[in-house]
Amino acid sequence: MRSLTLAEARERSELLTVTSYAVELDLDQGAEVFGSVATVRFTCHRPGEPSWVDLKARSVASITLNGRDLDPAAVVEGRLPLPDLAADNELTVVATMAYSHDGQGLHRATDPADQRDYVYGHLFLDAAPSVFVCFDQPDLKAPYDVTVNAPADWVVIGNGAATQTAPGRWTLATTRPLATYFVTVCAGPYVSVRSEHDGIPLGIHARASLKEPLERHAAELFDVTRRSFDYFHGLFGIRYPFGEYHQVFVPEFNAGAMENPGCVTFRDQYLFRGAATRDELLSRANTVSHEMAHMWFGDLVTMKWWDDLWLNESFAEYMSHRCLVDATDYTDAWVDSSIVRKVWGYGAERSPSTHPIAGVEALDAQSALQNFDGIAYAKGAAALRQLIAYVGDDRFVAGVRAYLSEKSYANGTLADFLAAIEQASGKDLAAWSQGWLLTADRDAISVELTTDGEAPGAHVTAAAIRRGVPSAHPADRPHALDVAGWTDGAEVFRASTTLTGPEATLDGLRGKPVPAVVVPNASDLTWARVTLSESTIHALPVQLSQIPDPQARAVVWSSLLDAVHGAAVAPATFLHVFECVWPSETNSSILTRMAAYAEHRIVPFFVPRAQQSRALERLASSARALLDTATPGSTESLAAARLLAGANDDEGLLRSWAEGEGLPLGLEDDGDFRWIVVGNLATRGFIGAEEVEGYRLKDETLQGSLNALMCRASLPDAEQKAWAWDQLTGRHDRSNYEMVHLARGFWSAPEDALVEAYVERYFTEVPEMSGWVGEDALSRVVRVAFPRVFTDETARLSAATLTRDDLTPAVRRSLVDADSELREALASRRAYYPEA
């Protein structure tokens, strides 16, 4: 299918104005297809000229334009030509559409728990034409009238309030003007919990098999929803404009959530079946607030073209964290951002695919999707914090209010937003935006102290903070930040500054005692590569756990991760710091995320395979130490148990836990925890395919089936690897989630020899999957399935593949990023394990 180009979008929006859509979906035609009857009314500003409309149908029964029939065979590559348009036009298309199984379009999934089917629409980025005929670009917004015919036992939820007018017949209220990619319908035997707040009807919905966790988590979800509504109403000065507010937890969802007005969709893993750590609840609360912020940023005011995606995501990212800190109990949300979101964004910034936050002219829609990453989210949010430091919060909020009011129900651009902030603040933002928004990469920040002797007992005689500008992407970015130092848990100094050049003196530090640990950007206010001094890194095993400020500890951990990826700190140094301080960590986000990074990133990527067992045992020892001291049932206990379940090699303990014996308190009947244990048993070859199937039979749910696939793919057996590879790359109608779980398990192996034959096959067979897997889903498969055989030969094959000119944009971007991670691992291994 052709991807819409920017030039084409501009041409069409200049020619047409869409006035309304009437869409009727028949979801009662079986499990493979559904009926779509759509009428589009639109005006043409230059009558007599032609245009086209987007349509990706399985088959087309009829097309009528202004009373005359058009030939269905005229649809080519997803486009239907529209000849000789009138001033006022009406187009009706009767078509049969195909359900998807890759998370795009109208996705249909079967729940193994009860064999009942569920449908939801995910029309981002260009999937709307696979559901109804439309002018599929974000600046041709229009109101929608949607009716749905569904099986009699199904519930229907959508952008407008749903009313059942007859058995299986539903009518949705007319919407406000929406971009095509925000339209959704969720249908199936969903179970619901309903409430109301400030005159807004609220609903949360999930599969019938998730009724218990839905009801268990409903109070928390509604509480965050209510607090977010109140906060955003007060901050923006504009009430929520889309009627009812539904949040639907759907199966096999590609992203975390999608901000469909009035009907937000979430991945249903957020309805935790078993125990959940505090940071998991915080992450879910952040997602709830993030999607609500989109009701203003993205839904009320929509970007004109995909190159302003940051106007959606950066704002929602910033606003959700701000809301959690100011209006909920999750006051440490910025700590979570530092150790989760910014680490994600820094990874994107290290890759050759790095790009500016804004101003990247996406020449077509699919190319725009490639910038939908941690830069658009985390770096964008950090840039907004810097903008607030530059213009002042009151003026920033005033500008935001003006922007939202002026562009309501329409479209905005970077220029529109900056003009609103300039008007409110009286400041020219041209230079600021050039450095922060329009230039890629990040500066390096370091602090140098001159002292009158050796610590302890020495004092600072001079202090300077330095900014290193990346040579490939030079820019002049001002940084509002602070520097802090600690010794034995006592804060020795803290100084705030705005760095506007290569170097600035910190006169306030003169005469202060020399601290054991110095942390640049201690409050994590800016976006930069934080470089810790050698003396600070040397002191961390003793000092880090004593620092009482969790924000500063998060900055330290983030800096260490960055340095390992850059071959500036040895993996062994990282693991030593982990062993010494992790069991004493008190912040939930740092505790759980650093365990995950250590187990799933540092060890498998940066430690040679022959030494990984010993490295994992070091992690397991840390987990045992924490589990022995943690309060039973606490986040600390759960984090320790999970790490121990995944890292230790005690077959007896693993088997007993898998059978539910001797479990730590709070993990009884926790199916998700059991799969961590079973996954470890499978990876080490302690069990086989038959035993994996036995555990699946104990958990005949969607998540249980997926985990069983991952465990079977991880078995250290040549026959099972061959089966898993065929299931992953062959045309077996596997869902997006099934492919990802097969990929997650495949490269687990006790030695490279078991899987190295598949390295070359990956670079030929996985890109070919673009013929039957959607771009959004395939981009994830390409990344997860990238070979975990860290050799020069893998790098050679990867580089050769990237020279091909037939790769789709999604495949190429994922390959570029995975290749970058491979080369980071190789550089680190060469530096610190030259003999391996």
Q: What is the pLDDT of residue 367?
A: 76
Q: Are residues 27 and 155 in the same domain?
A: yes
CATH number of the domain that 164 lies in? 2.60.40.1730
Residue 365 covered by a domain: yes
Say whether pLDDT at 775 is over 90: no
Average pLDDT estimate for 793-819: 96
Q: What is the pLDDT of residue 384?
A: 97
Rg of the chain in Å (alpha carbons): 27
Q: Are residues 180 and 306 in the same domain?
A: no
Number of structural domains, the chain?
2
Average pLDDT estimate for 392-407: 98
d(CA 179, CA 158): 14
Residue 675 covered by a domain: no
Residue 781 covered by a domain: no
Residue 94 covered by a domain: yes
Asked if 279 and 585 count as a contact pair (C-beta separation under 8 A), the reply is: no
d(CA 577, CA 565): 16
Environment class of residue 361 by beta-carbon count within 10 Å: exposed (0-12), middle (13-18) or buried (19+)?
Answer: exposed
Inter-axis angle of helices 588-597 and 550-565, to 10 degrees? Answer: 10
The band of 467, judged by pLDDT with boundaries at 50, 70 and 90, is very high
Q: Are residues 14 and 158 in the same domain?
A: yes
Asked if 597 and 585 count as a contact pair (C-beta separation under 8 A), the reply is: no
d(CA 533, CA 318): 30
pLDDT tens digits for range 561-590: 999 999 999 999 999 999 999 999 999 999
DSSP letter assigned to residue 666: T
Q: What is the pLDDT of residue 359?
A: 78
Domain extent at residue 347: 302-436
- The candidate with the shortest Cα–Cα distance to 187, out of 292, 256, 73, 99, is 99
Q: Are residues 309 and 184 in the same domain?
A: no
The residues that bridge with 484 in the sheet, in sequence order, are 494, 519
CATH number of the domain that 428 lies in? 1.10.390.10
Sign of the CA dihedral with 212 first, then 214, 215, and 221 last: positive
Q: What is the DSSP string of 363-420?
A: SBHHHHHTT-SHIIIIIHHHHHHHHHHHH-HHHHHHHHHHHHHHTTTSEE-HHHHHHH
pTM comes to 0.97
d(CA 717, CA 739): 19
Q: What is the pLDDT of residue 257?
A: 97
Whether the ω angle into residue 251 lies within 30 degrees of 0, i.e. cis, is no
pLDDT tens digits for range 662-704: 999 999 989 999 999 999 999 999 999 999 999 999 999 999 9
d(CA 388, CA 553): 24
Say whether pLDDT at 287 is over 90: yes
Torsion of CA 268, 269, 272, 275, to 10 degrees: 180
Q: What is the pLDDT of residue 835?
A: 86
Average pLDDT estimate for 178-203: 98
Q: What is the pLDDT of residue 61?
A: 98
Quote the percentage of the chain above a pLDDT of 90: 95
The pair phi, psi for residue 3, each rounded to 5°, is -100, 135
The pair phi, psi for residue 294, each rounded to 5°, is -65, -20
Domain end point (choices 145, 161, 189): 189
Asked if 62 and 69 count as a contact pair (C-beta separation under 8 A), the reply is: yes
Residue 129 covered by a domain: yes
The band of 305, judged by pLDDT with boundaries at 50, 70 and 90, is very high
pLDDT tens digits for range 230-249: 999 999 999 999 999 999 99
pLDDT tens digits for range 351-388: 999 999 997 777 788 777 777 799 999 999 999 999 99
Q: Are residues 322 and 184 in the same domain?
A: no
Catalytic residue, candidates 291, 317, 599, 824: 291
Average pLDDT estimate for 324-346: 98
Q: Which residue is it, tokens 């086209």?
A: 52
Q: How far is CA 572 from CA 420, 567, 610, 616, 646, in A?
A: 50, 12, 14, 12, 20
Residue 641 covered by a domain: no
The band of 486, judged by pLDDT with boundaries at 50, 70 and 90, is very high
Domain end point (choices 383, 406, 436): 436
Domain end point (choices 143, 161, 189): 189
Residue 173 covered by a domain: yes
Inter-axis angle of helices 718-729 and 702-714, to 10 degrees? Answer: 130
Average pLDDT estimate for 744-765: 97
pLDDT tens digits for range 253-271: 999 999 999 999 999 999 9
Average pLDDT, the chain: 96
Residue 712 covered by a domain: no
pLDDT tens digits for range 418-434: 999 999 999 999 999 99
Say whether pLDDT at 1 is over 70: no
Q: Is 454 a catalytic residue?
A: no
